[in-house]
Amino acid sequence: MNKKWEYYEAQEEKVEEISNKFNVSKLLAKILVNRDIVEDGEIKIFLNPTRNDFYDPFLMPDMEIAVNRIIKAIENKEKVIIYGDYDVDGITSTTVLKKFLAERGLDVGYHIPNRLEEGYGLNKEAIEDIVNQKYTLMITVDCGISGVEEIELCNKLGIDTIITDHHEQLEELPNALAVIDAKRKDNKYPFRGLAGCRSCF
């Protein structure tokens, strides 16, 4: 199969202007230009964002349900486990969420599948093991959106599940307590390109 590379035409004057004005490298200035981030205000927000510059996370379906369930777990000191993925955003997501929950007083476990033995996504053996360890809430990060059968097993075995993912949904959403994914078909969150580590709160 022949492939054709496509690339942006260089706008060297604009790159030079942004590089000098904001004291950034030409490489970063070129990235900004290629992404059409060229207005001063947009550039300032991109380089130094604050919490006020983020979109409202509650525009994502099920966010309120997920937050309320996590608050309940914190208040009741429940056993919570994070089910991650073995790639870079899965590991990063697991780390970010584990740190966040630990700072709120939870002793949180985690499961990152063995790539060769378990493969990608949720698997039934791991879920059964999680249930046997008496976890009451499982939060997935960077996986779960396609785990319809696995989530049904969670429901059958009595563990609540919150899915946070950033992959495309299939026709059917898993029947989890909450499914947080900016690529859900009913999503109102303005930016669909979140990585796993940004989808998990």
| pLDDT value of position 1 | 64
Q: What sign has the CA pseudo-torsion 58, 63, 69, 75?
A: negative
- Could you tell me which of 181, 196, 180 has the C-alpha nearest to residue 69? 180
Is 136:69 a contact under the CB 8 Å cutoff?
Answer: no
| pLDDT value of position 200 | 46
User: CA-CA distance, 182 to 159, in Å (whole number)?
Assistant: 24
Q: Which residues of the chain have pLDDT under 50?
A: 199-201
| pLDDT value of position 194 | 82
User: CA-CA distance, 145 to 167, in Å (whole number)?
Assistant: 7
| pLDDT value of position 171 | 87
| pLDDT value of position 198 | 56
| pLDDT value of position 72 | 96
| pLDDT value of position 48 | 93
| pLDDT value of position 195 | 73
